[in-house]
Structures are given as structure tokens and as C-alpha cells.
Amino acid sequence: MSRWCAFLTTADPADQLRAVGAAAVTAAGDHGLGLLDEPGAATGPHRVGRFTAVGEVTLYNRARLRTLLGADAPPADCPDAELLLHCYARLGTAGLAAADGMFALAVADGRDLLLIRDHVGARTLFVARAGGAWAAATSLRALRRWPQLRTGLHLPAVRSFLTFAYLPDRATLLRGVHEVLPGRCVRLRPDGTSTEETFWEPAEADAPGTAAEHALRLRELLEEATVRRLPAGPAGVLLSGGIDSSLVTALATKLHDQRVHTYSIAFDGTTPNELAYSGLVATHCHTDHRVLTVSGDAVAARLAQTVALLDCPVGDPLTVPNLMLARAAADDGLDTILNGEGGDPVFGGPKNLPMLIFELFRDDPAPTARARAYLDSYRKCLDDVPVLLSAGALTELEHAPPLTDVLLPYLQPGRMKTLLNQLLHTNLRTKGAHHILPKVERLTAAAGVQGRSPLFDAAMIDYAFSIPPRFKLAGTEEKWILKESVRDLLPSTIVDRPKSGMRVPVQQWLTGPLRDLSHDLLLGPSARTRDIFRADTLRAWLRGDGTLLPRQGGKVWLVLTLEMWLRAYDVQP
């Protein structure tokens, strides 16, 4: 298991690869391609004509791609990365658009270096330029080790993280390092210039049809997406009991020729859980069901390690439980586990109704007003920034671009005409691409399994944006058409229940097994040296001042996970 890195440099590329801890697979001319000893699926080198590539590539539609290539198709047993390279060599970016899968690829093309990231962002790819050279990798940690990159903390990204609980665009927490956006092919040139070509971006369309016809076509696409992601051997599904993971479970058991394993989590103590619903689905679908009870002590023992696995931090308290579930699946001998991620970004989400209410009562027609309302809907630390960040940090941020700049391209008429589709597109291209999918990939890879998300299937996303909005949000019922498409597969108790997110006992953890660690890290010498946060505000939060207000524990959790990540990557100002 490995990740990859690539260099475009006039210096010795083999030296550059060694400097970041990579084993060179090819180092010729200005190009260096190498593999890193980190959890991943990188292979290479792959050569097709003038192209040489290294990549992390998993394809779900090999047969279709070979048909498109016709007589130019490589041998049937060629690696996925080689097949994708053939598609690009023969068909250009149309060949990338035709691929269904998870991929991040670096391709040496003449004197240039191409970087390719899959449609939705299931695999992550970073790029940086320093000392007259380009560097790219599927590991941010590798770029952190690059001696020529004199990086440090990118403070605007700190503000973004405190607002979104993840980083919603190209920016990372390292100055000078950026993500390649999903659905893009980026060409890097030796003179330092670059160009970006989009090979896939969803757009709103108007598909005629009744609700029943749309539900039928959606069901077909759901089945196709699930079948393509099922492994040859046993399959697992992470089952919460909500509609998204439940429908994936039902489809997997219907379409797979082997018994399906399902995995759910619960927390010790009195926190309400979803076990009754996940158990109902498991019984209904006849799965081998396993419930993992996660204690606060288990979270405390694993939190630092889990945060360090992520290239960019996420303020999601389910990261440790997600990793434990993936390891439980690996212990059961599985190598593939499906999930229900994608239902919210593609068909509906918790921000849609508040945003529609905002539209009814808004008195400011400016596009920035809508973007600001979207920021407010996250209910994280945006309003706390003036009292949370230090005076020095606030001064440095005075000239930073406003956070609304990230959202404006999605929240006004363009590829999406209707407001609901603009909201879904925003969620897909921010939270989907920069939080949900990277978290799934990193945590499952660390456990030695592959996480797959049928609801993020590109063909299904394209179709979803052609379904009339009134079928996705029917009155106040979200995901209506998605529910109708699988109504025959699940008990009505599951299909018709209101959305209920999993309740995580963050406050109990912070006042219990994480109490001393939180104080030591947030008020310790490393945090003081960085001088990002005001110690008096953190002390007040840790004392529990204002705990009658909602989300107090969630705010401390955000700052704690950020501090842990900065320590793991040794990031200084």
C-alpha cells in the first residue's frame, strides 16, 4: 500500500524524491515519479506512448472503457492506472470523463507534468511550487517534508476551518500548497505556468417526466452504481439506520451474490442512538450485523493518531468511530466497505430548508448576502472569530479574501439555475469533495480496506441535477424522489422517518477522558508559541462558561482537533 509523489524540476529529480522519503519508480530528464510508504493504492510506472504515469486508480467500469478503446484497448488484466492512461492517451479528457472510479494520477508528458483528479474528489491530490520546481503528491505530509518548500501556517485556512469544520476549497493549512480540484486536469510547465481543464462538472438540466418515471430511472442508476462498486468477495456496509446507508444496504443485499456484513456504532452512556433503526434494516435485509460500542476512553486513546491520518483536519467527532468501524471490517476479512455518503450533497441536506426560509425573508438582494447566510448555517465558530483569534492573527487576516468568495461561484445562477440545485452544488463541491470523501478514503485506507460511495456516482449526480427540484424537496420533505425510488426495498419506518443525525457525546468526552488532554494541548507551550488563539477565551470555553448555549462542546472539539493536526504536521507560523 502506498501513495505517490511527482516532481517537475531542473534539479536532479531523484534527489527530490529521496528528500520527501519516496522510492523512485522513474527519474528521467525533468520528471521524477515515486511511491511513498503510506496507506494508499498507488502503482507505477505505467507507460503508454509518450506518457509515463504513477497514480492511485480504482475503476468501476473497466469493461465499458475497454469497449470505448476498441482495438487500442490494453490487455484485460492491465492495472487500472494503465487503463486510465490509455483512455487519456486515446481520447484526451473525454476519456477521463468516461471513467467511473476513484483516481489521482500524475502523468509525464514531454516537458510537462499533468495532474488528474477524479470527478467528485474520492482521492485527494496536492500541488506546490518552490525553488523553480513543481511538486505534487497524494500525501500532504510528503510535501511538508520537501526542503525547498519553506512553508508555514496558512492563517486564512484556519479561519475557514473554524467556520466550516473542514477546508472548503483549494487552500490547505500549509502556505503554498493547494488541492487540485475534482474533475480537473492540470498541466504544469517548467516555466512555472499552469493551465487547468475541467473534464466534468455537473450542470442543471430539465429532464421531462412524471415523478414515477424519475423514480424508476433513479432506481436503475442506483442499482448500476451499487453493482459497479460491489467487490468480487464479501462486502460490508456502514449502516447508521438513516435512509442513505439503509438504501445502500438494501441494494447491496439485493444485488450481491454473497452475504453482506453491516456495521453500526453506539456510544457508551445514555446518549440516544440509532441502533433500533440500523437493527431493523439489518434484520430486514438479512445481513451479518455487528454493533461496535465506542467509549470515551477509546476515543481519547485514538484521537491523536486518527487526526494525524488526515491530510486536512475535519472537525467531525465521528472520525475515531469511523476508523474503528473500518478496522472491524478488516478484522472480518473484508477489503471493501460501502457507505451511504452522498445522499445529502446530491439529493438534499440540513442547510436547504434554513436557506429557503432565508430567501423568503431576505431584504438584501446582493449575492454576498446569500453566501453569508450559508456561512451562518454552519453554526461553528464564525461569530467567535473576533474573540477566539489572537490580536496578531486578526491583524494578519485583515486583508484576506472574504470567506464568501468560496461560495459565490455556486450560489448564483450559472451552471445551476434554481436555488435548490445551487445549494446542492455548493454542498457537493465543498463538503462532499473536501470533507466527506477525503475522510472516507483516508480512514478506510489506514485500516486496509477500500471505502466506496455509490451515492457519489457521477452519472447519478448528472441525473439528479436533471430531476425537477420539486421532486427532491417536496414541501418540507427532503430527498423525496430518492425515498420513492427505494420504497419497495425498505420498511416504511425507515423510508418515512425524519432525518436525525447521530448524536455524539462530545461534551461528555471533553469533561471526561479528554479533559486533561484538552487543557494541556490548548493552553500548552506549543499553542502559546503559535499564538493563534486567545488563551482567555479557551480557558472560558474549557471551564464551561456559556454551556447553556448550544454547540459549546463542538467548538472546543474544533479547536482541539486543529491543534492536534498542527502538532502532527509540525506546522509553525
Convert the pLDDT of each residue in 274-312 to its tens digit: 899 999 999 999 999 999 999 999 999 999 999 999 999
In the chain, where does the domain assigned CATH 3.60.20.10 lie?
3-152+173-198
Residue 283 is predicted with a pLDDT of 97
Three-state DSSP at 320 gives helix
Residue 238 labeled ligand binder: yes
For residue 476, pLDDT beyond 90: no
Residue 77 labeled ligand binder: no
Measured CA to CA, the distance from residue 298 to residue 185 in angstroms comes to: 41
Arithmetic mean of pLDDT, 153-159: 97
Alpha carbon separation from 205 to 120, 208, 460, 466 (Å, rounded)? 19, 10, 13, 4
Angle at 281 between CA 275 and CA 287, to 5 degrees: 105
DSSP state of 90: H
Q: Read off the pTM.
A: 0.95
Residue 107 is predicted with a pLDDT of 98
Arithmetic mean of pLDDT, 14-27: 96
Residue 488 labeled ligand binder: no
- What is the DSSP code string of 352-396? HHHHHHHHHH----SHHHHHHHHHHHT-SSGGGHHHHB-HHHHHH
Rg (CA), the chain: 23
Arithmetic mean of pLDDT, 490-512: 87
Residue 548 is predicted with a pLDDT of 46
Residue 547 is predicted with a pLDDT of 56
Arithmetic mean of pLDDT, 253-262: 96
CATH number assigned to the domain with residue range 211-343+436-452+481-493, chosen from the 4 options 3.30.413.10, 3.40.50.720, 1.10.760.10, 3.40.50.620: 3.40.50.620
Measured CA to CA, the distance from residue 510 to residue 25 in angstroms comes to: 46
In the chain, where does the domain assigned CATH 3.40.50.620 lie?
211-343+436-452+481-493
Condensed to tens digits (0 to 9), the pLDDT of residues 176-211 reads 999 999 999 999 999 999 999 999 999 999 889 999
Class of domain 3-152+173-198: alpha beta
Lowest-pLDDT choice from 93-107, 251-265, 396-410, 537-551:
537-551
Residue 212 is predicted with a pLDDT of 97
Arithmetic mean of pLDDT, 2-18: 96
- What is the DSSP code string of 135-180? EEES-HHHHHT-TT----B-HHHHHHHHHHSS--SSB-SBTTEEEP
